Amino acid sequence: MFKFLATSFASLLYRIEPISRRLIMNGHSKVKIRTVLILLLVLLPGFLTLQTLYATNLPYLSISLSATQVALTKTIDVSGLLTGATPSAKGDKVDYNLFTGGSCSGSIVTTVTKTVPTVKNGQAIIPTATFTMNSGGTFSFQGVFEGDATNYPAKSECSAPVSVIGTPTTIKTTTTPATPATIKLGKSVKDSATLTGTNVGGTTTGTVTYELFAGSTCSGSILQSQTMMVTAGVPAGSNPFTINNAGTYSLHAVYSGDSKNRGSTSSCEDPITVTQLTPVLGILLSASTITVGQTVSAAATLTGATSTAGGTVKYEAFGGGVCGGAASDSFTVTVTNGVVPDSKNFIITSAGSGLVSFKAVYSGDKNNALATSSCMPVTVKKTTTSLSTSLSTFSISAGGFVTDTATLGGTTSGAGGTVLFELYDDGACGGSGGSIVQSQTVTVTGGSVPSVSFTISTSGSYSIAAIYSGDSNNKGVTSGCEGVVTVT
């Protein structure tokens, strides 16, 4: 309405301008000019009515886009609709303008001009213009109707921002060592990339991000990443990725894209297998030779493992010297940060074959493999025993008896075996030419020796000696000669 009034007033001034100019040129007085102005005020309603009949029309132009996001070198179609126009608009021009930026305020990149077709019922569908998007970035479109004698010029609203994405690119990666690869924990891998695509070349920039994942599919959480620059289309390779946990890993690379090139992601590299460390378990014993009843302890050391190594170490004792078969005893300790506690004291209760042996077994953990120490033998000696005897009397009559009692010393608590008592017919246990005239054998139970009695019928001098047989854990021993027993 405001534009219509302004136009009517301008048209009125255009019609009265020659009259006023002539009045001034003819030198009329100010009074006459005032008269003209009064006349104009009187005639203004009539002029306004006349202007309404011949008013310039106010059409409206709208545009629509086929897309607001396209790839570089692809096209966008822009079409227009002119409404509120008179039939005289046919043949008038409509410019479709492509602007840099998203607000139709930058520089015009391209203009495509179309002609208004026949106007029906105040409307005309403007022919479609096709724009090839040869630069990446953000753009906008606006239509401009040129107008004519009965239709004012009109501009469409600025279109929504249009995003032009660069040319598709392809990124490929190469891992050192080549995948599939197997490396030891704590070792590293490097990745490099090559970038290809229509517009990749000397001006291509952006970044490449190398990403390391747990598992073989390049999915889930990113464990490590490195972002490197792309210079003249060539991505910089990664720095080493050091992997400190055993398992399966994978790598890929992501190109950021730039103004002319679309970002891309490489395929997932073949798996990288990171193996456990193979530590060495050493063992040291507190003694290499012991006597039955004594103890042995073991100390283990773990080398070549991670500084955070955990798990357990099991100390095992075996009868014999080869650490074979089932363990006779064991003791398990917890490993903390690679430190292995000592074992308990193993009490050796049997000499067996004369040897026992020990080894240690490390359970391993997620980063360190199982390890077994060497077998360490220990010589086990029997106890050194003593045997003493005691006679009930040293003088009897012929036909009487004498009782001898033996006592073992230094044996294990469960000592067995036998004791042989021998009666000699001299006073020196055969040392002065006598011989054994009687003997008796008794069984030792739990280190206790039963007493024996000898009945002597012939007068003379006699003596008695005792011999302990020993057993698996106790050495045999002979008592001293006990005499002289006088028989009258």
Tens-digit pLDDT profile for residues 241-289: 999 999 999 999 999 988 788 889 999 999 999 999 999 999 999 999 9
Instruction: Choose among 110, 105, 100, 155: nearest CA to 132.
Output: 110
* pLDDT at position 53: 41
Kindly report whether the global pTM for this prediction surpasses the value 0.85: no
Residue bearing tokens 């006679």: 391
CATH of 386-487 among 3.30.1330.10, 3.40.190.10, 2.60.40.1930, 1.10.3480.10 = 2.60.40.1930
**Percent of the chain predicted with pLDDT > 70:** 89
Are the C-beta atoms of 488 and 432 separated by less than 8 Å? no
Are the C-beta atoms of 272 and 181 separated by less than 8 Å? yes
Give the whole-angstrom CA distance, residue 183 versus residue 177.
Answer: 9
Hey, what amino acid is at 310?
Answer: G
Average pLDDT value for residue range 103-120: 96
Give the whole-angstrom CA distance, residue 422 versus residue 444.
Answer: 16
**Same CATH fold, 386-487 and 280-381?**
yes
* pLDDT at position 73: 82
Q: Does domain 170-275 have CATH number 2.60.40.10?
A: yes
Residues 6+ apart with CB under 8 A from 307: 337, 338
Q: pLDDT, tens digit, for every residue of 387-438?
A: 999 999 999 999 999 999 999 999 999 999 999 999 999 999 999 999 999 9
Hey, what amino acid is at 369?
Answer: A
* pLDDT at position 36: 41
Query: Please, what's the b/e burial string for 343-360 (b: 16 or more CB within 10 A of its CB; e: otherwise)?
Result: beebebbbbbeeebbbbb
Task: Name the CATH superfamily housing domain 60-165.
Answer: Macroglobulin (MG2) domain (2.60.40.1930)
Residue 120 burial by CB count (10 A; 0-12/13-18/19+): exposed, middle or buried?
exposed
Long-range interactions of 105-110: CB distance < 8 A, separation 24+? 109/135, 109/139
Q: pLDDT, tens digit, for every residue of 305-351?
A: 999 999 999 999 999 999 999 999 999 999 999 999 999 999 999 99
Beta-sheet pairing, 181-184 with 371-372: unpaired
* pLDDT at position 200: 84
Domain residue extents for the chain: 2-53, 60-165, 170-275, 280-381, 386-487
Are the C-beta atoms of 440 and 401 separated by less than 8 Å? no
Q: Please report which confidence band the pLDDT of residue 51 belongs to, taking 50, 70 and 90 as the band edges.
A: very low
* pLDDT at position 72: 82
Give the whole-angstrom CA distance, residue 303 versus residue 301.
Answer: 6
Are the C-beta atoms of 244 and 150 separated by less than 8 Å? no
Average pLDDT value for residue range 128-149: 94
Long-range interactions of 321-325: CB distance < 8 A, separation 24+? 321/353, 321/355, 321/356, 321/357, 321/375, 321/377, 322/357, 322/375, 322/377, 323/357, 323/358, 323/359, 323/375
Beta-sheet pairing, 69-71 with 162-165: parallel
CA distances from 69 to 62, 180, 255, 257, 275 (A): 20, 39, 20, 16, 47
CATH of 280-381 among 3.40.1110.10, 2.60.40.1930, 2.30.30.140, 2.40.10.480 = 2.60.40.1930
* pLDDT at position 44: 46
